[in-house]
Amino acid sequence: MSDLPSRRSVLATSVLAASGFLTLDTGRAQPLSPTPECHDGDAATLRQTEGPFFKPSSPERAELIEPGLAGQPIDLVGFVLTRNCKPVAGALVDLWHADDKGAYDNSGFRLRGHQRADAEGRFRFRTIVPGNYEGRTRHFHVKVAPPAGRLLTTQLYFPGEPNNRRDGLFRKELLIRTAKNQGSLSGRFDFVLDMR
Ligand code: FE
């Protein structure tokens, strides 16, 4: 009996799964704190190049999956925080990435969108896992703009990717924590802006 999860923990897990706050570090879904995991004086999130495919003025939307789009869906969720763990309400989070074949849409806005963090600093996107492309492992591109303060431009990476070690830009500090629950994939990343 002791191996069976209690009804309460099953319920808690499904609530967390629905909110996307899960991690897969041990190979099975485990609830991840729905509050930011941060410490006073945390280092700011690493900056990375924006690359050649950024386009300004993306649509404001959380849902990037369009009818007919191929690829593994993923919920990307997290917080935008200051270095002393304060939520940055209203921070603009702009996401753009390749499709599952590794191609960017440079004529339109497919797989491009932005959201504003809510009062607790949370953001959420529903999109697909990008493909690898020439010289690059799977990655998301992100810009995070606080209402006042310096813009963060960076990239996010996926755990367990064989191409990570062949990509000179890859940094483990920028790994998303992923979890799979009943076939649905979640990713979590908290951004720390270089501000107090
Ligand atoms: Fe790229």
What is the per-residue pLDDT for 191? Answer: 97
Give the model's pLDDT for residue 181: 82
Output the CA 155–ligand 1 centroid distance in Å.
8
Question: Is 83 or 41 the better-scoring residue by pLDDT?
Answer: 83
pLDDT of residue 36: 82
**H/E segment holding residue 9:** helix 7-19
Q: What is the 136 CA–ligand 1 centroid distance (Å)?
A: 7
Centre of ligand 1 to C-alpha 54, Å, is 9
Average pLDDT over residues 138-159: 97
Residue 51 clears pLDDT 80, i.e. is over it: yes
Q: What distance in angstroms lies between residue 97's CA and the mean position of ligand 1's atoms?
A: 6
Domains annotated for the chain, with CATH where assigned, are: 7-192 (2.60.130.10)
pLDDT of residue 101: 97
Q: Which residues surround ligand 1, an ion (CB under 5 A)?
A: 51
At 21 the pLDDT is: 44
pLDDT in tens, 69-118: 999 999 999 999 999 999 999 999 999 999 999 999 999 999 999 999 99
* Residue 121 φ then ψ, to 5°: 85, 10
Question: Residue 33's pLDDT is what?
Answer: 58
End-to-end CA distance of the chain: 48
DSSP string, 39-88: -TTPPPPPP----TT--SS--B-SB---TT--S-EEEEEEEEEETTS-B-
Question: How many Å lie between the centroid of ligand 1 and the Cα of residue 6?
Answer: 43
The rounded Å distance from CA 15 to ligand 1 centre is: 33
Select from 45, 46, 86 the least CA-distant residue to 191. 45
Rounded to the nearest angstrom, the distance between the alpha carbon of 4 and the centre of ligand 1 is: 43
Question: Ligand 1 centroid vs 73 CA: distance in angstroms?
Answer: 18
Radius of gyration of the chain (CA): 17
Cβ distance 192 to 174 under 8 Å? no
Distance 138 CA to ligand 1 centre (A): 8
Mean pLDDT (the chain) is 86
CA of 14 to the centre of ligand 1 (A): 33
